[in-house]
Structures are given as C-alpha cells and as structure tokens.
Amino acid sequence: MSLEEIRQEAEAFLEELVEEEYKNRAGLKTKAGLSVIYEKYPRLASQSLFFELEGMAREGQGEEGKGIGFLKEFIAQNTLDSEVREITDRIFTWEATQLLEGEGRALSFRSAEVEIKNQGLRPMREAIEEARCQALREINPLLADYWKRVHEGALRLGFGNYTRMCQEHSGVKLFPLRDMVDGLLKGTQDVYGDLLRWFLKRELGVKLDQAQRHDLVYLFRAKGYDRVFLPTALVNGAERCLKRMRLDPEAGGRLSWDLEPRETKAARAFAASIRVPERIILVVRPGGGYDDYLAFFHELGHGLHYGYTDPDLPLEFRRLGDPSVAEVHAFTLEGLVRERGWLRYFLDFPDSKDFLRLAYLHKLYLVRRYAAKLHYELILHDGGSLEEKRGVYREVLTRATMAEYPEELYLYDVDPYFYTGRYLRAWLFEAQLKRYLYEHFDEEWFRNDRTGPFLKGLWRDGQRYTLEELASNLGLEELSIDPLIQEIGQYLG
C-alpha cells in the first residue's frame, strides 16, 4: 500500500470505529459492534503492513519520517486491538447492560460511580462499591484474557514485551517518567496527607486511616459547592469566557455537545473525534456540580483542539501523533475551573479560597493516583501471572492516595498503551504552559482577547508536534515536576 492509500483507508476506518464507540459509550447503543468494522479493514491490522511501514520509517526523513512513525504506531496498536476485537465488544456490551443488585434496587454498572459521587451516606456508598466489585470479579477473567492476547501480540510484532513496544513507538521514556513522578509522590506526601486528613474529618467525619476509595470519590465531588456550580450556568459560563477570548464555542459548527443523563451512558466523559476537524461530539454524563464543570471543560479543550485543527494536515498529524499534546489542551481548559479570577467573573464566586484548597487537593490526588498507576502498569506488563498483580495494585494505589483501593479494579483500571504516561506528561507540561499564559496574556488570560488567537494557533497544528517539540517552539524548559508542585503548593500551603 502507498502512504496515501494507508491514510485514506485509516481515515475511513477511524470514522466508523469512533462512531461505533461513541454510540455505545454514550448509551445510544448497548451492543457493541466493533468486530464488524475491524473485519471490514483487515489490511490495517496486518503484520505485513506494520513491517512495511517499519522499512519506510528507516528511510523517511524530516516531517515525512515523523509522520510515518505515527502511522507505524497506529498500525501496531490496531493490529493488537484487532486481535482482541471480539473481547472488546463483549466488555463494552457488558458495561452497557450489566445491572448491580443491592439495597433493594437495580443499578446499572455505568451508573455506579455517579451514584457513589452523590451518595452522602457512607454505608450506601460501601454497598454500591461492593456491588461494583462483585461485578468486576465476574468480568476480570475476560479482562485477563484481553491482556494476555495483547501481550502475545506485541511479541509477534517482534518486540521483547508490550512495554518495549509502547516505549519505542511513543518515544515516551516510561521508566525515567516513573522515577520523575515518584519524586512528586515523595515531595507532596506530607501536605497531601495533612490536608486530606483535615478535609475527610470536616466533610465526611472519616479518619484518614479508615478512608476508602469511595470516600475520596464523594469528597472530591464537592457537593457543598453545588450552589456555585449550577447546571444552568455551565454552558453559559463556557460560552461567555470563550467569546471573551475571541473563540467560537462550537468551532464553526464542527463541535457539538451531548449532555443527556442516560442510564447506560459511561460515567467517564470523552470527546468523540469522529471526523477531524469536521465532526466532534463532547460526551459528558452529568453527575452534579463541580465534577460536571471539570469534565465539561476538559472535553471542551479536546473538542476545540480537534475542531480547530487544520483540515489540510495529513491524517498522521490531524488524528495521530502524541496524545500528550491533546491532553495538554484539555487540561488547560479544565484548569479554568480552578482559576480564582474565572470563578469570580464567570460564576460570581468571589470568596473561593476554601474551595480552591479542596480543588487543588483534588488535582494533587489525581496526579498522585496516575503516578501510582504508571508504577503499577509497568509491573503489570513486565511478565508473570496477571492474577498475582491484584495485591500489587491495591498496595500501590492505596499508598499513593492514602485510601484503601479495591483489588478487583486491578485489570479494569488500566489505560491501554500506557496512556497513563500521556496524562502525566500533560500535567507537567500544562503547569509550564500556564506560566507562559500568565507571562504573555496576564494572570486573567481567560479574559484577554489575544489569548484565543494564540490558542487557535496551537490547535491548528493538531498533533503535528510532540510535547518536546511544542515546548521548544514556545521557548519552555524540559519537563520537570517543579512547576506543577509549585502551582499546587500556592493553594495548599
């Protein structure tokens, strides 16, 4: 296949695949049909095409060589995904149809996390968490089969193991990144523990040494601030802010929002980039308050990035590339909800000091959780019995978050292809980009009409540049934990 043929076929495949995933995860369709789409495009999941691109990549130069590398990574991942397509269909269908029994009523699996976020009675949260864990015990053998086949697929592509495959294709040095964020874990241990202890006692009446995962889910829902984060102000606040920066909230009609609270809709928000840049759908399942704002603005960042991408870029720079860059843009918009000035001007919330302490403790919790996930996933994928990794998951996540994590999540709470590392890199870079925005567009950059054109300039490049190249283009330093620790420390000190 020529490069142009690969691009055209991959474009058509991705459009169909993302559309199908959107319908299932948005609760519009319960039975997933990904297998049919994979079977329709067998050449994109062939080892021969992967090795052909490998040869092209060795000969490619400059931008073309980089683009071929992105295509090669896509074909490698698609080859593995195709081998587990029937399992993926079964998992998606299970998620959309599974009912949890408990407390005298049936609850959908996808509704469980939303219920935990909103359930103030601890025994009720515990019951929902246990029902969710019971369901995961039933699906974990299927998840184990999924990961076993993925690991075997990496070997067939000529890699020593799955981790090496992910490192070589992504360019992300996973072990140095792990060591870097381990420094963040150590450097924030005391402030995190002290503040978490204080908020748990004040808000939930729970001691730190008795805290469970579900307690943190409820705590960081921040229900006490629902009077500020009103559903009616969500879209209005976003639109007013974006227009102030000279940005179109719908990216010229290419971006739409799905905010319907369907029972079978996934709790985790996502941006369905069905056709970039022409058709992007932001999917958020409303759970109430601050949490909705975070999810909405995060996916809005994705949507605007995709929606403003240059349509003339080749596929590999429009849809592929370094996902860390996409996450930076998402975190930048999400960060508005933690800006004192934004809260004052767009939500009429002038006295936000106490809230911001909780909000930045939440951010620190997320970063610590993902640092732990990277540590765990490197162990999960290093060989040996998957079953033996249950206790490792519980120990690593519990130590980092300081709340007991159920071991039943040990295969479900795993991001394919070390996407966990992409999130961590994005958090580190976002702290540097935030400083850049402050320096060039003022601390209230979200009210500066020069900010929008600047952001559109970044978004127009899609994912043409890696995170390191983007940093170089902006004159920023190499990734470091220091700017992120300093940003969080301003509010938690």
Each of the 493 residues of the chain gets a pLDDT tens digit; together they read 788 999 999 999 999 999 999 999 999 988 989 999 999 999 999 999 999 998 887 777 788 889 999 999 999 999 999 999 999 999 999 998 999 976 567 899 989 998 999 999 999 999 999 999 999 999 999 999 999 999 999 999 999 999 999 999 888 999 999 999 999 999 999 999 999 999 999 999 999 999 999 999 999 999 999 999 998 888 889 999 999 999 999 999 999 989 888 888 887 788 999 999 999 999 988 777 899 899 899 999 999 999 999 999 999 999 999 999 999 999 999 999 999 999 999 999 999 999 999 999 999 999 999 999 999 999 999 988 999 999 999 999 999 999 999 999 999 999 999 999 999 999 999 999 999 999 999 999 999 999 999 999 999 999 999 999 999 999 999 999 999 999 999 999 7
CA–CA separation, 415 and 228 (whole Å): 33
What pLDDT is stored for residue 299 in this prediction? 92
Q: Which two tokens stand for residue 342?
A: 């934004």
| Angle in degrees, 0-180, between the axes of helices 109-118 and 122-156, rounded to the nearest 10 | 140
Tell me, what's the pLDDT at 261? 85
pLDDT at site 384: 87
Domains, the chain, with CATH or none: 3-172 (no CATH), 178-492 (1.10.1370.30)
Which ranges in 84-121 belong to alpha helices (H)? 85-97, 109-118
Q: DSSP characters for 216-256?
A: HHHHTT-GGGTTTS-HHHHHHHHHHHHHHTT--TTGGGTEE
Q: Residue 258: phi, psi to the nearest 5? A: -115, 100
Specify whether the backbone of 25 is left (phi greater than 0), alpha (psi in -120 to 50) or beta: alpha
Q: Coil, strand or helix: which one is 280?
A: strand
The reported pLDDT for the residue numbered 263 is 83
Write down the residue that tokens 């970063």 correspond to: 367
Tokens 């860059």, located at residue:
325
pLDDT of res. 2: 87
Q: What is the H or E stretch that residue 279 is in?
A: strand 279-283
pLDDT, position 102 = 61
Which pLDDT score is estimated for 325? 96
Residue 271 has phi, psi (to 5 degrees) of: -110, 120
- What's the pTM value of the predicted model, to 2 decimals? 0.94
* Cα(84)–Cα(150) distance, integer angstroms: 7
DSSP structural state of residue 201: I
Which H/E stretch holds residue 105?
Answer: strand 105-108
Q: What is the pLDDT of residue 103?
A: 57
Quote the CA–CA distance of 471 and 477 in Å, as a whole number. Answer: 7
Residue 187 in 3-state DSSP?
Answer: helix
Asked if residues 89 and 338 have their Cβ atoms less than 8 Å apart, the reply is no
Q: What are phi and psi of 279, to 5 degrees?
A: -140, 100
Q: Report the b/e string of 73-86 with b at 16+ CB within 10 A.
A: bbbbbbbbbbbbbe
Task: Report pLDDT for 268.
Answer: 78
